[in-house]
């Protein structure tokens, strides 16, 4: 048997002697617990596999440690070269205790780390789903893919972010096979994270090389969310039109002016890695540039109330220009309750308003109900009532002289 006991291996000898040099070199080669070693199988008997570890020691693999994730034990034969992990430097028989199972586990994690470093795309099967994402089988390991790492085609676009409906969408993917990339491999924490979006982003980058900011595209509305609309165009590309880039007017939701399936033209306004940002409104002349040609401060206009908020009314003057009538500009009496406001004004009905300010650059136009003093005049009146003496005009010099007489 080639295994040398620890006591023998650590025998001291003069450092400068030939034997001392050989002994020092031997001691530095002895594997320790945790090392992965290579060797040749020298026997397969008594429920164990004995391995010649590079002529340094004899190791034995037995019991549960025989089996790695690939179940290769049944195909082994004498003379085969194998890898194993040292789990004990010397057992009760003076042999090095080895494990195929641990070595196999480590090999798989090493492979995951290499896949992550190299950015290689692999296939992975969806095993289960929870509200946060998908449980994946990644070769011999179990991994996880957060919802945020799904590609746009699989991302559950659920109105309001309803977690129950998101889970319903995710469960439809159980059993499917996805192309993914490893984005985090941490064997000490047994954490393996994969991403389908990373594969999609790589595909996007190649196609995006043919586009630049300012380009016009034609596509189809593919999804509507509270924050914007998605447009599919080109060769499998998809861009986002933020709600503020849909129309020049203020809207509460993209569905107010768009519906899924609409054919639209848009302009690319930003390219951020694989993310594409688009604008619909920039293809239309900004109506606020000419607002002062149509409206002036002090003008009495007719407008339709299209929304009532606690802070006031949103008023539509025409198809392009909408204004705000603040609650303090709607009555000379203070209005503290939105319900009171709803009794005074009805959505969809037309009322007369006076324009109090126009700010084209900010896309703002202020209104007050016609005939109402409004907050500015109310403030002036209150100031006079509070300090009447300060607001009385001084008598003319001639009047002073008359009084002296």
Q: Is 237 part of any domain?
A: yes
pLDDT of residue 274: 72
- Token couple for 212: 């630049």
- Token couple for 26: 């031997």
The span from the CA of 106 to the CA of 364, in Å, is 64
| 17 and 67 fall within a common domain | yes
Question: Quick count: other Cβ atoms within 10 Å of Cβ 78?
Answer: 12
| Pick from 321, 318, 315, 373: nearest CA to 341 | 315
Q: Is 216 part of any domain?
A: yes
| 271 and 315 fall within a common domain | no
The answer to whether residue 49 scores a pLDDT higher than 50 is yes
Distances (CA, A) of 132 to 145, 149, 154, 161: 8, 11, 14, 12
| 12 and 101 fall within a common domain | yes
| 187 and 273 fall within a common domain | no
User: What residues contact residue 130 under an 8 Å CB cut-off, 6+ apart?
Assistant: 167, 170
What are the tens digits of pLDDT across the range 307-325? 899 899 999 999 889 999 9
Parallel/antiparallel/unpaired status of strands 322-326 and 364-369 = parallel
More confident residue, 365 or 101: 365
Q: At 267, which CATH number?
A: 2.40.50.140
More confident residue, 191 or 24: 191
What mean pLDDT is predicted for residues 141-167? 86
Which of 266, 283, 300 is the C-terminal boundary of a domain?
Answer: 283
| 347 and 369 fall within a common domain | yes
Residue count (the chain): 405
The span from the CA of 245 to the CA of 243, in Å, is 5
Q: Is 351 part of any domain?
A: yes
The structural domain count of the chain equals 4
The span from the CA of 192 to the CA of 110, in Å, is 12
pLDDT of residue 303: 95
Residue 196, domain extent:
119-201
Which of 146, 173, 201 is the C-terminal boundary of a domain?
Answer: 201
Which of 144, 178, 201 is the C-terminal boundary of a domain?
Answer: 201
Q: Is 240 part of any domain?
A: yes
pLDDT of residue 355: 95
Parallel/antiparallel/unpaired status of strands 312-316 and 350-359 = unpaired
User: What residues contact residue 404 under an 8 Å CB cut-off, 6+ apart?
Assistant: none
Parallel/antiparallel/unpaired status of strands 36-45 and 81-88 = antiparallel
| 374 and 321 fall within a common domain | yes
pLDDT confidence bin for 153, thresholds 50/70/90 = confident
The span from the CA of 207 to the CA of 222, in Å, is 19
| 329 and 278 fall within a common domain | no
Q: Is 192 part of any domain?
A: yes
pLDDT of residue 21: 56
């Amino acid at each position: 048997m080639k295994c040398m006991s620890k006591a023998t291996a650590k025998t001291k000898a003069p450092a400068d002697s030939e034997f001392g040099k050989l002994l020092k070199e031997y001691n530095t080669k002895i594997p320790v617990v945790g090392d992965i070693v290579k060797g040749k199988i020298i026997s397969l008997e008594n429920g164990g596999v004995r391995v010649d570890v590079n002529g340094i020691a004899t190791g034995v693999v037995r019991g549960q440690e025989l089996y790695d994730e690939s179940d290769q034990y049944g195909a082994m034969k004498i003379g085969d070269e194998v890898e194993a992990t040292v789990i004990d430097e010397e057992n009760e028989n003076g042999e090095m205790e080895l494990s195929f199972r641990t070595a196999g586990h480590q090999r798989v994690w090493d492979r995951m780390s290499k896949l992550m470093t190299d950015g290689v795309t692999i296939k992975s099967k969806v095993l289960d789903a929870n509200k946060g994402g998908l449980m994946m089988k990644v070769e011999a390991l179990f991994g996880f893919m957060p919802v945020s790492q799904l590609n746009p085609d699989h991302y559950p676009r659920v109105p309001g972010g309803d977690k129950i409906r998101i889970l319903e969408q995710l469960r439809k993917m159980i059993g499917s096979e996805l192309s993914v990339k490893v984005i985090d491999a941490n064997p000490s924490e047994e954490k393996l994270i994969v991403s389908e979006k990373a594969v999609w982003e790589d595909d996007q980058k190649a196609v995006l090389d043919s586009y630049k900011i300012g380009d016009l595209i034609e596509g189809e509305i593919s999804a509507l969310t509270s924050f914007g609309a998605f447009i599919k165009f080109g060769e499998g590309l998809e861009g986002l039109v933020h709600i503020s880039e849909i129309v020049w007017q203020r809207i509460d939701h993209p569905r107010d002016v768009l519906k899924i399936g609409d054919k639209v033209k848009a302009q690319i306004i930003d390219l951020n890695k694989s993310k594409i940002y688009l604008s619909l409104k920039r293809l239309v002349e900004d109506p606020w540039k000419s607002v002062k040609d149509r409206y002036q401060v002090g003008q009495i206009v007719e407008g339709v109330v299209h929304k009532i908020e606690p802070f006031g009314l949103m008023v539509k003057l025409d198809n392009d220009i909408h204004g705000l009538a603040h609650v303090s500009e709607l009555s000379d009496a203070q209005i503290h309750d939105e319900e009171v406001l709803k009794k005074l004004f009805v959505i969809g009905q037309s009322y007369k308003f006076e324009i109090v300010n126009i700010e084209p650059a900010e896309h703002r136009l202020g209104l007050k109900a016609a005939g109402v003093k409004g907050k500015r005049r109310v403030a002036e009146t209150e100031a006079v009532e509070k300090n009447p003496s300060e607001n009385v005009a001084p008598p003319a010099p001639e009047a002073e002289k008359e009084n002296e007489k």
